[in-house]
């Protein structure tokens, strides 16, 4: 099981998640109503929290301890998600740029080989073609 699958797996009931995050279960319910948290549900509609959810609860607590109200916490979390998305896009673009640079270098090499001027032997004498003059 990958680390991501482990952290995303919903295994904690609300009482355990609240205890792990040092919060009251009612606080978790309020955060869920506000959209700050989205626990999964069991077949019997019981809230199940993952380790990632517990980490998010701790992050919310840290932000409120810094003096942010829940509207500020919502905004910070939203911006952090946008930044993470942009970072992922940037990584993809960086990979595409590297691949394009490799292709471009090969095209330049191919073009240089096509324009290469070799020595030409005429009657035992090596003649080097003069460079083409540019018309101005």
Q: Residue 71's pLDDT is what? A: 95
Residues 6 or more apart whose Cβ sits within 8 Å of residue 1: none
Q: Where are the domains of the chain?
A: 3-67
Q: Residue 128's pLDDT is what? A: 61
Is a pLDDT exceeding 60 seen at residue 119?
Answer: no
Is a pLDDT exceeding 80 seen at residue 14?
Answer: yes
Is a pLDDT exceeding 60 seen at residue 120?
Answer: no
Mean pLDDT comparison of 38-42, 110-114, 130-134, highest-scoring range: 38-42
Buried b vs exposed e over 62-96: b needs ≥16 C-beta within 10 Å?
ebeeeeeeeeebbeebeeeeeeeeeeeeeeeeeee
Given 1.10.1660.10, 3.20.20.10, 3.40.50.720, 3.40.50.1580, which CATH number is that of 3-67?
Answer: 1.10.1660.10
pTM, to two decimals: 0.66
Q: Residue 111's pLDDT is what? A: 83
pLDDT digits (tens, 9 = 90+) for 30-79: 999 999 999 999 999 999 999 999 999 999 999 999 999 999 999 999 99
Please, which pLDDT band fits residue 114 given cuts at 50, 70 and 90?
A: confident
């Amino acid at each position: 099981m990958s680390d991501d699958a482990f952290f995303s797996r919903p295994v904690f009931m609300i009482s355990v998640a609240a205890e792990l995050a040092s919060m009251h279960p009612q606080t978790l319910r309020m955060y869920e109503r506000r959209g700050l948290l989205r626990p999964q549900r069991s077949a019997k509609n019981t809230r199940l929290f993952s380790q990632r959810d517990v980490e998010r609860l701790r992050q919310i607590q840290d932000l409120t301890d810094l003096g942010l109200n829940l509207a500020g916490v919502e905004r910070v979390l939203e911006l952090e998600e946008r930044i993470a998305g942009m970072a992922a896009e940037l990584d993809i673009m960086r990979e595409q740029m590297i691949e394009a640079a490799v292709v471009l270098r090969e095209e330049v090499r191919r073009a240089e080989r096509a324009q290469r001027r070799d020595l030409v032997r005429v009657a035992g004498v090596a003649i080097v073609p003069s460079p083409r003059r540019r018309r101005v």
